[in-house]
Amino acid sequence: MSGLDVFILFAIMAVLLGIGLSGRATGGSTEEFFLAGQRLRWWQIGFSLFASNFSASAIIGLTGAAYLTGIAIYNYEWVGILAILFFAFVLARSVRHGGFYSIAQFLEERFGTRIKVIYSALVLFLLIFIDMAGALYAGGVLLREVFPGLSINFIILIIMIMAGTYSVSGGLGAITRIDFFQSLILIGGAFLVAYYTFSAAGGWTVVRQIAPEGFLSLVRPEDDRAVPWTGLVTGVPILCCYFWLANQNMVQWVLSARSVRDARIGLMMAGYLKLLVLFIIVLPGVAAIGLFPNLTEPDRIYPTLLFELLPAGVLGLVLAGFVSAIMSSADSILHASSTIITMDFVKKMRPHLGHAELVRMGRLTTIGVILLGALWAPAIGRFGTLFEYVQGLLSYAVAPFVVVYLAGWFWPRASANGALLALLIGFSSTLMVAAGTALGRFDLHYLHVPLPIALLSLVGLVCGSLLWPRQALAGGPAFDGVDHTTQNSDMLIGAVLLGLVGAQVVWFW
């Protein structure tokens, strides 16, 4: 790595940090700190959603999975776009009009405190030990190649300090400011990596010839390591529903929108940006098969592309984009975790606290989350590939809550006791399946787990709700359905996005 690359990397990082620390101060309002004053425009939401989703772990994980098994890994992306469209046209208005700071607040008003506490505890675990730790680990793996004299623990700590500095001081508004620039650098860097990879491989025609059989198809055999076609049906839709509909890290941007229309268009903008992932992340992983055919660690393919193919100057810019991806995912996860802890736990236990005290607690909890994520991230190296670590744990953890969350919006008769029974049955079944798999009694791909668990949870929800009918909660909203009225122009934008997704899927089917 040349001195020019080092200069470009540090210069861009300094500029981004300055942008994050600049601008309007958050003041003492909880709405200002946790929801950016609910004034975000559609383009800010779109870039922030994409930056939060397009993390360092996604870059390394998707490229490595494509190198290992082909483009079937893109199934997560196009199904995710369908979940985005569902959120935009069915749930966005109702979520916005609920007046919530977090999903847990909705669950509390709909099902009571027990469900809220269980949800908040689980999501905090997932945000810290899967989402954030995965992003930090990916960043540490790559940046250790740049600075071989530094340990991965030290690199992770530096990244967290950078992301935490503006997250603590400026709240969601500061995160939104920097996410716009991070997204542009990130997308530009990914395009450069794709360009140099395909150029070195000899172009698309050569890549099609060298790709192993089935690697350019979205539908893979039942025994495929990454995404068997059965897993595409039984697992991927449920994981995407969790990530885009019931994950505070994503929903916080919709709650912070200036209007319902800004929220909708911002969601769809993120969907359009996700269309690029196939071309700038997934396909370069397949192209790398002909360039570096003997790599035994798939998670190292993206760093290899960077350091072997990129010329001086370009490498520094791309590395800046990669560090931006780490920071953009880490800052939104930090803020989501801080919001859950402060508004769902601290405010409940200490209701006398005013706005200034709650904002102060939000900043303190952000620091605590930084330390937890930095301590756990280095341990991920023991769990196989990064992508399998993330998706495997999510497959076992999220199905019961997806059932309860969606029932809260779409089934008025769903009761608090029914929701509790659904979670008890769902998580008990999950533990039994996990134990059976660990002991060798089951041989299940992790994507085959979510649907059976979701069905068992649904049975528990229905039976519990019929045995213990719903009682209205004092002061709670009605929740007798969702309001999905929309404008024709928004429908046109969504229809075009859906058409483009369909064209991608048909082409590679």
SS3 state of residue 137: helix
> Tokens 């229905």 identify what position?
462
Which CATH number goes with the domain that contains 11?
A: 1.20.1730.10
Burial label for 390, CB within 10 Å (0-12, 13-18, 19+), is buried
Which residues does residue 257 pair with via DSSP β-bridges, in sequence order? 40
CB 408 within 8 A of CB 459: no
Burial label for 149, CB within 10 Å (0-12, 13-18, 19+), is exposed
Distance CA 362, CA 358 (A): 6
Distance CA 97, CA 483 (A): 10
The DSSP string of 156-221 is HHHHHHHHHHHHHHHHHHHHHHHHHHHHHHHHHHHHHHHHHHHHHHT-HHHHHHHSPTTTT-S-B-
In a domain, 261, yes or no: yes
In a domain, 395, yes or no: no
CB 501 within 8 A of CB 218: no
| Cα-based angle 306, 330, 397 (whole degrees, multiple of 5) | 105
255 Rama sector, left if φ>0, alpha if ψ -120 to 50, beta otherwise: alpha
Distance CA 414, CA 405 (A): 10
Distance CA 396, CA 391 (A): 9
Structure tokens at 417: 């006791």
| Residue span of the structural domain in which 289 resides | 3-382
Instruction: Tell me which amino acid residue 22 is.
Output: S
Q: Which residues of the chain have pLDDT under 70?
A: 1, 20-37, 56, 150-153, 156, 160, 163-174, 328-329, 331, 335, 353-356, 358-359, 362-363, 366-367, 370, 373-374, 377-387, 471-486
Say how many residues make up the chain.
509
Which residues does residue 40 pair with via DSSP β-bridges, in sequence order? 257
In this structure, the number of other CB atoms found within 10 A of the CB of residue 372 comes to 16
In a domain, 277, yes or no: yes
> Tokens 């939060």 identify what position?
52
- The pLDDT tens digits for 251-283 are 888 888 888 999 999 999 999 999 999 999 999
SS3 state of residue 257: strand
Query: What are the angstrom distances between the C-alpha of 66 and each of 279, 337, 349?
Result: 12, 31, 47
Evaluate the CA torsion angle 184, 189, 192, 193 in order and state its sign.
Answer: negative
Structure tokens at 136: 């930090």
In a domain, 70, yes or no: yes
Distance CA 442, CA 437 (A): 5
Distance CA 483, CA 343 (A): 26
In a domain, 387, yes or no: no
The DSSP string of 234-271 is HTHHHHHHHHHHS-HHHHHHHHTBSSHHHHHHHHHHHH
SS3 state of residue 149: coil
In a domain, 410, yes or no: no
The domain total for the chain is 1
In a domain, 349, yes or no: yes
Distance CA 66, CA 329 (A): 22
- The pLDDT tens digits for 52-98 are 787 767 788 889 889 988 999 999 999 999 999 999 999 888 888 87
In a domain, 69, yes or no: yes
Distance CA 156, CA 284 (A): 26
Q: Quote the DSSP letter at residue 70.
A: -
